[in-house]
Amino acid sequence: MMKQMTFADAEYAGKRKQTRKELFLIEMDQVVPWKGLIALIEPYYPKGEGG
């Protein structure tokens, strides 16, 4: 899940090396079929409407 990049993030992004965590998350976004996975899990996931 990506969040909106701020101007500071955009400026700083070109000046630093990506961390192993960032590289892992980028790779996971490319490899995992998120829509299909969410569709499988959603019927069993609580909706949070109980109070």
pTM: 0.50
Structural element, H or E, at residue 43: none
Look over the chain and give the mean of its residue pLDDT values, rounded to a whole number: 86
> What mean pLDDT do residues 15-34 have?
91
**Residue keyed to tokens 């909106």:** 4
Domain span at residue 42 reads: 18-51
- For CA atoms 11, 12, 14, 19, the dihedral sign is negative
Across 11-30, b (16+ Cβ under 10 Å) vs e yields eeeeeeeeeeeeeeeeeeee
Is position 28 within any domain?
yes
pLDDT at residue 11 in the model = 78
Task: Fill in the DSSP letter of residue 18.
Answer: P
Q: How far apart are CA 51 and CA 48, in angstroms?
A: 7
pLDDT at residue 51 in the model = 63
